[in-house]
Chains A and B, each alone.
Chain A
Amino acid sequence: DQQVKQNSPSLSVQEGRISILNCDYTNSMFDYFLWYKKYPAEGPTFLISISSIKDKNEDGRFTVFLNKSAKHLSLHIVPSQPGDSAVYFCAASDRVQGAQKLVFGQGTRLTINP
């Protein structure tokens, strides 16, 4: 049972445009969500997070939106840059297990075209 789903395995965006990565979840107990970026043969690096008490968190070019009623979150990158090309994972945790024990989505490979 995949509790966190990223239904788009890949996304291609023109440099300078907005990249929107989507993530859906099924467990209503999740209350903390994170986005990670991963290059091949490397560990994930943290990008941005959001608590369920918020609906938006912004950090530079990265903004995460959370729609609790739809159990959906998205990561917006604007403007997109070639260095943003990577695999992006969304992750979620709940109060019981704590933010350190995460459930990951399958990842979306983002390619930024010059």
Chain B
Amino acid sequence: GAVVSQHPSWVICKSGTSVKIECRSLDFQATTMFWYRQFPKQSLMLMATSNEGSKATYEQGVEKDKFLINHASLTLSTLTVTSAHPEDSSFYICSAWVPGELFFGEGSRLTVL
């Protein structure tokens, strides 16, 4: 099946720094990718829809200036957590839609000290 890869899997950063997470579709082209966030023992919350070549669509309550999303090519979407704070520590997961199915990346765990 289709493969979606995320990098890095784990990242630890200091408060105030910015962190970039990459999401790649390895064997298919994805015009649309999605970014989710999961807090411990909670549901996956959709943060934004990333559209290739255009601006991302953010869900209500998600700060677009805080979570910068870029979908520069059909195989790559990036999520940048700017000026990260400890409350941004979470598990971030991307997904890509192949007609009929949604494929998820392995996830990236961010810990902000």
Contact = CB atoms under 8 A, between A and B. Distances in A.
Interface of A: 2, 4, 9, 34, 36, 41-46, 89, 99-107
Nearest to B102: A100
A43 B46 contact: no
Interface stretch (B63-71, B79-87, B104-112): B104-112
Interface of B: 4, 6, 9, 32, 34, 41-46, 49, 91, 93, 95, 97, 100-107, 109
Majority-rule SS of B interface residues = strand
Tell me if A's interface is mostly helix, strand, loop or mixed.
Answer: loop
A45 B104 contact: yes
8 contacts: A2-B43, A42-B107, A43-B4, A99-B102, A100-B32, A104-B43, A105-B43, A107-B42
Given A43-B95, A102-B102, A106-B42, 10 more contacts: A4-B43, A34-B102, A43-B6, A43-B107, A44-B44, A44-B93, A99-B100, A100-B102, A101-B46, A101-B49
